[in-house]
Chain A
Amino acid sequence: MNIVGRGALAGLVLLIVSCQPKSPLSDINGNVNVLIPKPINNSTSYTLEPVQLNDIKVLKEMRGNYAEFFYAPGSNNGALYGTAPQARYSKSQQGFFVPIDMISSQMATIYYHLQNLIQLNESVDLQAVTRKPFQVGLEVRKTDRDQTYEKNNAFYDGYSDSMLFLPMNTTELSLALNAGVIAHEFFHSIFYKKVLGKTKLVNKTIKAEEIRTAQDKADLFNLTYVRGINEGLADFWGWLYTKDIDFMRMSFSGLQSADRSLGLQKLEIGVYQTTEEMNRNIENALDNTVQTNELLLDYIYMIGTPHARFLRNLVDLESQATGSVVSLKTLYRVEGDEKKWIRVLVEFLDQLSTELANLPGKTVSAARLFEYIGERSLQENLLTKDQCIFVIQYLGEFDEDTQVSIGPSGQKINCLKKTNTEFYEARRF
């Protein structure tokens, strides 16, 4: 090579080294606008919209104050471990970032919803049960009983206190892009810290041969009830966030979604799994010694969904009375009465946790949530007339003509107007 060639090579090296740009995402932090799919306010459809993700520390890993991601992680000592997925974005001419693959889109979408949900928690004094940043596992490898990798599911893992998303291979909206599902899983973290984690009722596999004593049966009843309302209240949380009574259908258009719709027909008001029905179904599951756990896991949704529909209708009745639209999307910004149902729900969890701890050998009432609302209506301005009449239909046999319910022990339950207010109380006589 002559001197020109050598000079050219040396010059090229100098040029490249001096001009080398960094990765476009490496230095970006703070508040970042990213295009994500999100529910349209007060609608049941989705749109693509740039949203602001706050307090991002490393955009390439979508790590910030609200979320931290792991790709196909393991868990150890109460936390996830593994590598962070690498986000890939193109910066649009309008200045916002556009995810250029599915994983990046999932990361941005989850971050945005966790940011809203954590901010809501902070506004209703739930900081103590809020992990921040929230750990999230994507493309999680989980094997089922046949040692094959499970797909198309998402769950909250109380052990690692993290939200885990399994790979999707369907044509429907990924669970990691479904705002209602993210809110649903997020609620499980609240429930775990408020109830499950404080009791000996853990999410263990139920084996029929291990249920021998009355204590075992009471524990199984309580566990089934707690699992049931955990799912139901999580569905309610998903509805609060999206205002979509059927938020699951975006990702599961099949039977599961229809069964868990939060729509409530008139004939379904007051219908739920009573203590007697629960006992009967648990006995049936125990009779099938091979699939006891699977049967009970299917059954818990029959317990939970009526609770979700009950709470949704209660909030809707309030919205109709006040003309306001209540959803987490507005709640986390608005102080005032709109948050009261979240506070009521959270305080119910504390009450339930206390009662479960003080019930050795006894079972909790399957109507405990409905009873709790009725009891609170005696102490505070909680229920409008329509709400009160709705609630007492869950407390006994309701007579449409007299607007009175007859409770399990024969007592009458009536809605009485409280003195000097527009509110009503569910009074037992």
Chain B
Amino acid sequence: MKHVVFSFIFLFSYFAQAQGRAVIRTAISQKSSISSPDLRLNIFLPGVQMRYQDTAAQSQEIVTHYTYTLSFQVNKFLLGFEFLTQAENSGNESFEIEKKFNEQNLFFGYTAIKKDFFVSGKFLLEFMLTPQVLVGRSTNLVKTRLMGTSIESNSAAETTYGMGLIGSARTGYLLVETDLRYQTSKNYEPGSLMLGTVRIGANFQF
């Protein structure tokens, strides 16, 4: 766990160069609170991610991608993994193009705002806003079929970068998240795009 914490310290110190040493000192100060960490595992059902991007119809539209997400939370720090896939077809029986897009992302977040409410005096409802940064890789697999014969072409893996904000609502085991991001990759069309994700999962506290 110390490795994770120190990784975050390094990451934040890198991100916050412009902000000066105060940020580093504050991040380091988090270390002192890990004596009894709030450690959680978040497991999500398959979610949907909407990306505003180019389509085969020669227009920019909201395109649905499917996501599979897992994340760990240590106090205010969040580390997650996301797998994302989307398929698109165009053409007809004689000539058809099938594109499968895959992406794997590692995201890091820090819960900047957290508000707790008691519903009916019983249920604790927690709201969190977590700025995040992510890095990952994306690939296209294109299958081109021509009158019965086909060629599969794998693209080179391209790095993805992104930043965004996760809004979470948690009560008991239930966890609902909306995730708004700005991402870039050479496998995107256009190269940079806005996206939004909705996912529902369970959180397990250790």
Contact = CB atoms under 8 A, between A and B. Distances in A.
A4 B26 CA distance: 6
Given A48-B146, A91-B155, A103 B56 contact: yes
B97 A48 contact: no
A321 interface: no
Contact of B154 (A14, A26, A93): A93
Given A99-B97, A102-B91, A105-B95, A21 B131 contact: no
B131 A5 contact: yes
B22 interface: yes
A2 B112 contact: yes
12 contacts: A3-B19, A7-B19, A10-B19, A11-B12, A13-B163, A16-B133, A20-B184, A35-B151, A48-B144, A86-B58, A88-B54, A92-B142
Contact of A24 (B16, B56, B94, B191): B191
B54 A86 contact: yes
A26 B191 contact: yes
A167 to B, nearest CB: 11
Interface string B141-160: 01010110111011110100
B133 A22 contact: no
A255 interface: no
B23 interface: yes
A102 B97 contact: yes
Contacts of A12: 15, 131-133, 163
B190 interface: yes
Given A47-B149, A100-B56, 4 more contacts: A45-B147, A86-B54, A90-B142, A172-B93
Interface string A1-44: 11111111111111110011111101000000001010000000
Given A3-B23, A16-B162, A85-B58, A171 B12 contact: no
B123 to A, nearest CB: 26
Contacts of B88: 100-101
Contacts of B151: 35, 48
B45 interface: no
Nearest to A250: B94
B190 A23 contact: yes
Q: Which 10 A-B pairs have the closest CB atoms?
A: A11-B15, A5-B112, A7-B23, A101-B56, A7-B16, A23-B191, A90-B140, A12-B163, A171-B93, A92-B153
Contacts of B95: 37, 102, 105, 173-174, 177
Nearest to A11: B15
A59 to B, nearest CB: 12
A159 interface: no
Contacts of B184: 16, 19-21
Contacts of B186: 21, 23-24
A149 interface: no
A5 B129 CA distance: 10
